[in-house]
Amino acid sequence: QVQMAEYGGGSAQAGGSLKLTCQLSGDTYGSYCWAWFRQGPGTSREAVAMINSDERTTYADSAKGRFTISRDKAKNTFYLQMNSLKVEDSGVYYCASRAKYLYCGSGDFTEAGFPFRGRGTQVTVSS
């Protein structure tokens, strides 16, 4: 199965930027949809952005206009560029993948539809 590892978390000031990286490894054949989720203190995990193998993207309302998801097919890597960060963006960010052969449009943009996840990387935004 596919394995995923996140990099790039850290601290930033409100209004600043961070870029997260998710490195895919293992059995990536047939993997067509990847996403970022986050979990803030005392909150449930929420969707942030997802990208399909044809580069179509979907964003949560909280991420629209500020975050950009992209991928590098050759490197088996995808990214989350986060700009204009807010304190409420703080949390643990997870990259995730749908099951094999499932495109982004095959289900809801919820954690249940992305069975493969990394361990997460902490993002802390201070005012």
pLDDT at residue 37 in the model? 98
DSSP type of residue 98: P
DSSP type of residue 120: -
Judge whether 21 and 94 are in contact, CB under 8 Å: no
The low-confidence residues of the chain, meaning pLDDT below 50, are none
pLDDT at residue 107 in the model? 84
DSSP type of residue 99: P
Please give the Cα distance from 47 to 123 (Å, whole number).
Answer: 15
The three-class DSSP label of residue 109 is coil
